[in-house]
Structure 1
Amino acid sequence: MTATADAEAAANELTPLADYLGSVLRRLRALPPLDLDLTQAYGNVLAEDVVAPHSYPAFDQAAVDGYAARWEDIGSGTGRGVGYAPGRAGSPSGRTVRLNVVGDLGAASWRPVRLTPGSCFSVAAGAPLPSGADVVVPVEWTDQGMAAVEIFRVPKRGYGVRRAGEELPAGTLLARAGTYVSPALVAVFAATGLGHVVVRPSPRVVIVATGDELVDVGRGSQPGQVVDANSHALTAAAAEVGALAYRVGICDDDPEALRGLLEDQTLRADLIITTGGTGTGPGDMVRRILTRREGGRAGPVTFTEVALYPGTALGFGTVGAEEVPVVCLPGEPGAAMIGFEVLARPAINLLAGAEPVFRPSVRAHLLETITSPGGLREFRPAHVAERRGGGYTVQPLPGGPFTLSGLAEANGLMVLGERVTTAAAGSTVDVLLLDRRR
């Protein structure tokens, strides 16, 4: 059997990535909903539809600073008490319109008032409109008079006026379940009279790095030592998704210490992510501990060889009496980051009730010919750009998926299917769009 045939036979024994993700995500459920104060709801996902209890605006109001008037008094000049004088262009016959100012209204005014023909009120933006007013003349279109005002330019009827319920009548569907609560949505909820909403809580995600060789950041790696980049990167990645992420640091390859640490973390976690120890070597303690059979039962976590490049070994299951989900990622940094994208990130989104759970993707034209290992679904760092005439182009970054510098530079992950061994320049490939917040 040739080396190529050996590789293909080995790939055929791997679980397709789509099948594996489906089996894992079907075991997860969104976290129970919470009724949160509006000030705490930002960043969470709505657990139910939200309907406006009150109209917005709540009453007829001025949209600009100026003078609230009857348009028939300034637009036609037929109203009683209206005075005309030679003036600037913009009013009928090029003359100014003169009205009596009978009062001032601010945003805090509450007493109902009514306009009489030939009169107006000085109003601030947000002030309630006097009854009968159907136009607000901006201050800059007048002489800004106090007892009487001359209007140099006549606006259209309805200018400067916001009617009650004009934007959002009571009963309007403001947002559907599954919507992220943004700052603007918080404003909409507050303006329509809502003080709290029912949301899915942000998942609490604990990240654990394992391995005797690991040392903390702030130093260079030495022979026999590897700086722990994974737990820091994965904590940041979990926070980027919207999780409450906690890094607990490094755990040595000590079976009792690892068991105790994971058991302790179940008390404060909705999801635990481990990195390292997913292989079958003598030092791969995570796999050995979490797959150990007890009382004739299989271990709580199943490790699967997935048709994924980089990093084929992934683990998923539950730990502790509370059966907290655990995702086990490889120890190689590039493989850990890709594993997070394809498995942990969708799991966090599902727990949060967010839709869709996967990143958005586009089809893009490849700028250079590349090769890919057969039988594996490869995720390769790339730079994707929009074309002037529409569509996208994608440039794979040097070094492939194992380079941390490529992952840091990428704004997309090019996805090459299991049957792709060569992708020619000019061909079309799928690209996941990474959310790079600058």
Structure 2
Amino acid sequence: MTQTADAEVAARELTPLADYLGSALRRLRALPPLDLELTQAYGNVLAQDVVAPHPFPAFDLASIDGYAARWEDVATAGRGTSVRLNVIGDLSASSWRPVRLTPGTCFSVAAGAPLPGGADVVVPISWTDQGMAAVEIFQPPKRGSGLRRAGDELAAGSTLGRAGSTITPALVAAFAATGIGHVVVRSSPRVVIIATGDELVEVGRGSQPGQVVDANSHALTAAAAEVGALAYRVGICDDDPEGLRALLEDQTLRADLILTTGGTGTGPGDMVRRILSRRDGGRTGPVAFTEVALYPGTTLGFGTVGAEEVPVVCLPGDPGAALIGFEVLARPAIQLLAGAEPVFRPSVRAHLLDTVTSPAGLREFRPAHVAERRGGGYTVQPLHGGPYTLSGLMEANGLVVLGERVTAAAAGSTVDVLLLDRRK
């Protein structure tokens, strides 16, 4: 049998990634909503649309320091002569008594002060002699300049945020400004991360034969936190069946999602697959381990554990493959539990700067650096992939997606790129 035929047979035995994600993610539901005080709401996902109960600005106000006047009283300023108005009072942002202009008068106002009745313009201080009892105005402002009308930015009844959107600092400000003190949000998913393997040791030392430093649980905890989850690193669990069962049962009491890494293969030490793929009286299984047309990684586990049926995602033990598996499956799962939209990362089409090859029959996610081009569009520079994915991810701000039928993509061709939200 030829190498091409071998690849075709292997591809037929693998589950297409899109099919796998569809069947897995359909089993998840958003967490129940809860009411949060506004000061605690940042980073959560709205569970329902939020409508402004009051307008913003709440009243007509001055947007600059100056003099609030009637436009017809100042319109002739600058035509070879100035206009003189009587200053009948001062208004600050804390002024509350209603006042009104009469012809030939004005008020000295600070930015944010409520406008007096009849005022339809605020003259900048620099256009005047800055008089106190009377003021000379040297330039004619445009009607309506220097002020803001009630509701001209956010009208009462307008939708401030849609269900599924993440609460940002600007949304917090908009909610507060329109009189909202509480919002209904989805709970941030509590994600527990467990690394498995007798060979694992804690960080702070180098790996040596028979020992591997646990990089995965730290990386996945950071990745889950980046999505907005409440991430808890449990640490290392040895390849002990009873110990693993007890740990999982204990963690189901506080987790909305459990991530494991390592032990997804079929070797003698792959305890996670052996324990979680069997039914055990509702205590641990079953979790389905599927050979997916994914590179790097291939094997992913998904199911529920415990009587509470807490979702679990089982990722490979290689750090690069674990992080790609997180992007492909765990991150969308967290987004679904949080009620966030969209579930998947945004993507763009970009021109490839270097030729790349990809395994036949597998959908590859290759680290890359994407940049905007002058005049529009994007370019993408592929970085280390395959067995070197971890070093590629260190510098990546995107992932080139090469489909199952793509064995080579030439420089200059257009490819899909997932954009990674990295704070660089």
Instruction: Say if 1:52 and 1:173, in contact at 8 Å, map to a contact too.
Output: yes
Quote the Cα distance in structure 1 between the aligned partners of 2:117 and 2:408.
Answer: 74
Query: 1:414 matched to which residue of 2?
Result: 400
**SS, match of residue 258 in structure 1:** helix
Q: Which of these residues, 116, 122, 128, is aligned with residue 114 of structure 2? A: 128
* One-letter amino acid of the counterpart of residue 59, structure 1: F
Query: 2:54 matched to which residue of 1?
Result: 54
Instruction: Say if 1:214 and 1:225, in contact at 8 Å, map to a contact too.
Output: yes
Q: 1:399 to 1:297 in 2, by over 3 A?
A: closer
Check if 1:390 corresponds to 2:376. yes
Alignment of 1:158-177 (within 5 A): 158-177=144-163
* One-letter amino acid of the counterpart of residue 120, structure 1: C
Deviations 1:220-266 (A, max 9, x none): 11111111111111111111111111111111111111111111111
Query: 2:302 matched to which residue of 1?
Result: 316
Instruction: Say if 1:380 and 1:401, in contact at 8 Å, map to a contact too.
Output: no
Query: 1:187 matched to which residue of 2?
Result: 173
Deviations 1:73-119 (A, max 9, x none): 1114xxxxxxxxxxxxxx24322222111111111111111112221
**SS, match of residue 82 in structure 2:** strand
Q: Which of these residues, 183, 192, 203, is aligned with residue 217 of structure 1? A: 203
Q: 1:356 to 1:10 in 2, by over 3 A?
A: same
Q: 1:293 to 1:170 in 2, by over 3 A?
A: closer
Quote the Cα distance in structure 1 between the aligned partners of 2:142 and 2:183.
Answer: 40
Instruction: Say if 2:285 and 2:304, in contact at 8 Å, map to a contact too.
Output: no
Instruction: Say if 1:400 and 1:406, in contact at 8 Å, map to a contact too.
Output: no
Quote the Cα distance in structure 1 between the aligned partners of 2:65 and 2:277.
Answer: 71
**SS, match of residue 343 in structure 1:** helix
**SS, match of residue 95 in structure 1:** coil
Q: Which of these residues, 205, 214, 217, is aligned with residue 228 of structure 1? A: 214
Query: 2:37 matched to which residue of 1?
Result: 37
Query: 1:302 matched to which residue of 2?
Result: 288
Query: 1:93 matched to which residue of 2?
Result: 79
* One-letter amino acid of the counterpart of residue 74, structure 2: I
**SS, match of residue 348 in structure 2:** strand
- Superposition deviation, residue 298 in structure 1: 10
- Superposition deviation, residue 316 in structure 1: 0.6
CA RMSD of aligned residues (A): 1.7
Check if 1:148 corresponds to 2:134. yes
Query: 1:362 matched to which residue of 2?
Result: 348
Instruction: Say if 2:283 and 2:306, in contact at 8 Å, map to a contact too.
Output: no
TM-score normalised according to structure 2 size: 0.96
Quote the Cα distance in structure 2 between the aligned partners of 1:155 and 1:189.
Answer: 33
Check if 1:427 corresponds to 2:384. no
Q: Which of these residues, 311, 333, 337, is aligned with residue 325 of structure 1? A: 311
Unaligned runs of 5+ in 1: 77-90
- Superposition deviation, residue 390 in structure 1: 2.7
Instruction: Say if 2:224 and 2:230, in contact at 8 Å, map to a contact too.
Output: yes
- Superposition deviation, residue 435 in structure 1: 1.1
**SS, match of residue 19 in structure 1:** helix
Range moving further from structure 2, 183-192 or 427-436: 427-436
**SS, match of residue 93 in structure 1:** coil
Unaligned runs of 5+ in 2: none
Q: Which of these residues, 233, 236, 240, is aligned with residue 226 of structure 2? A: 240
* One-letter amino acid of the counterpart of residue 283, structure 1: G
- Superposition deviation, residue 399 in structure 1: 4.9
Q: 1:64 to 1:113 in 2, by over 3 A?
A: same
- Superposition deviation, residue 311 in structure 1: 1.1
Alignment of 1:256-405 (within 5 A): 256-294=242-280, 299-400=285-386, 402-405=388-391
Instruction: Say if 1:68 and 1:130, in contact at 8 Å, map to a contact too.
Output: yes
- Quick one: percent identity of the two aligned structures? 85
Deviations 1:316-348 (A, max 9, x none): 111112111000000011110110010001101
Query: 2:64 matched to which residue of 1?
Result: 64
**SS, match of residue 260 in structure 1:** helix
- Superposition deviation, residue 401 in structure 1: 5.5
TM-score normalised according to structure 1 size: 0.93
Quote the Cα distance in structure 1 between the aligned partners of 2:173 and 2:284.
Answer: 51
Instruction: Say if 1:44 and 1:202, in contact at 8 Å, map to a contact too.
Output: yes
